[in-house]
Amino acid sequence: MNAPARHESYVLEDGEKSVELTEDTKIPNAATIKIVKQDHTLGNMLRAQLLAMPQILFAGYKVPHPLHPYFIIKIQTDGTITPQEILEQACTKLIATMSNLETKFKREFSYKDVEAGGVTAAAGEDPYGTAGGAGTGAWGRGRDYLDF
Amino acid sequence: MQAQEDVEPTVRIREVKKDRVNFVLGNVDLAFANSLRRVMMADIPTVAIDMVEIETNTTVLPDEFIAHRLGMIPLVSANCDEAIRYTRDCICLAGCSFCSMMLELKVACDDDNTMEVTSAHLEVVPFPEEEGSQDPGEELSKRGEWFGHPVGKNDPNVPPVLITKIRKGQELKIRCIAKKAAKEHAKFSPCSAISFEYDPYNKLRHTTWWYETNVEDEWPLSENAKEEEAPRDDEPFDFNAKPNKFYFEVETDGSLGPQEVVMKVRLRPACCS
């Protein structure tokens, strides 16, 4: 009855900001970033990417509550770059890896297409080919159970 | 750590079949590979029955039982990025042909045998268009011939999904609305299973094998172990080692082809960064 709309967990509302940055008041070169409508899929990937960068002193993320659709990520850098900039760099790198992976996948799939003579191409568009309609073929297929 | 940065990811597809793809992903982070898996499982939209209007149900199963079963039936969703809108983005008031599919199930048993009601009885019916709706959408032209139909309906080699069994005098009259969504419910997932493995020899000790007498006998190596070098008996534990090769097998339920599932991944998490 008063359940929230189901897509609220992954679709931004009108005017809602997806990223919110709070600078740390006590630790130098540190910030906490709240990312809304995202979960471990992005959080963990981003954290791992940040840790692989040499300017990072600390990066960690948490999803404070499984029912609240956001995570927070804490970043501390060595001062040569701000947390915001390094986060942007990390995202750019991830996107680059993603598109690189996509081209690789495309190429691999096209090789497979040639090998299999187009079988997989059909699978991409229409997984069950163009075989004639079975329609209501299953009608009255029941076995000989007799009604009493 | 930096060594991994400039290395490009590698992909080797080992097998593609109608409903599955098996590939090896290399030179990426464990977190990245896991995100790929998570996106394929949860974030790819498909079409599934989402609202059910029951006119007559005199079967032995209660209404909600049947409604649930209808929701789980995979519907052909190829190209659903372009072929259908999200209801929340549509201008219609309560569903139209651009954001939903209508399916009907009208079955009655009047002979003496038990009848099986299956997904093959589900018929896609055109949406009753309300007057004066001049929607310029081009979604309808992007749909394949079988879009929105239960998977396997056009293929006699695919057994249909059993919904219920009815006897003489019982009847089922149902109208269903199918919608596009992702993540909201497991029924929208195009994957029936994704297997994900790395480090088949457990060199990294990410897991502990429990055993009674002998580890080797009780934990047979997987097929993927052939891809990697077996550790020597005297090999010291390398605590700096990182997983580098990930073995995937993506199995779909037929609503999308395996190629489409894998290729759609990039579109989703990238949009959020």
Provide the residue ranges of all domains of chain B, joining segments of one domain with +.
10-43+191-264, 46-182
- Kindly provide the ipTM of the predicted complex, given to two decimals: 0.85
B86:A7 CB<8 A: yes
Task: With CB atoms and an 8 Å threshold, state whether A108 touches B2.
Answer: no
Best of B11, B41, B87, B256 to disrupt the A interface by mutation (most A CBs within 10 Å)? Answer: B11
First-last CA distance in chain A: 45
Q: What is the pLDDT of residues B22-81, one digit of tens each?
A: 999 999 999 999 999 999 999 999 999 999 999 999 999 999 999 999 999 999 999 988
Spatial contact of B119 and B163, defined as CB atoms under 8 Å apart: yes
DSSP count for chain B of H helices, then E strands? 5, 10
Question: For B116, which of A35, A123, A138 is closest by C-beta distance?
Answer: A138
Q: How far apart are CA B51 and CA B46, in angstroms?
A: 15
- Which of B79, B86, B154 faces A128 most closely, judged by CB atoms? B154
- B198 and B33 Cβ atoms separated by less than 8 Å: yes
Task: Give the closest residue to B247 by CA, choosing from B11, B7, B6.
Answer: B11
All structural domains of chain A: 10-110 (3.30.1360.10)
Superfamily of domain B46-182: DNA-directed RNA polymerase, insert domain (2.170.120.12)
- Tell me which of B32, B89, B259 to substitute to probe the interface with A (most A C-beta atoms closer than 10 Å): B259
* Model pLDDT for residues B146-191, shown as the tens digit of each residue: 999 999 888 888 999 999 999 999 999 999 999 999 999 999 999 9
CATH 3.40.50.720 for domain B10-43+191-264 = no
pTM of this prediction?
0.86
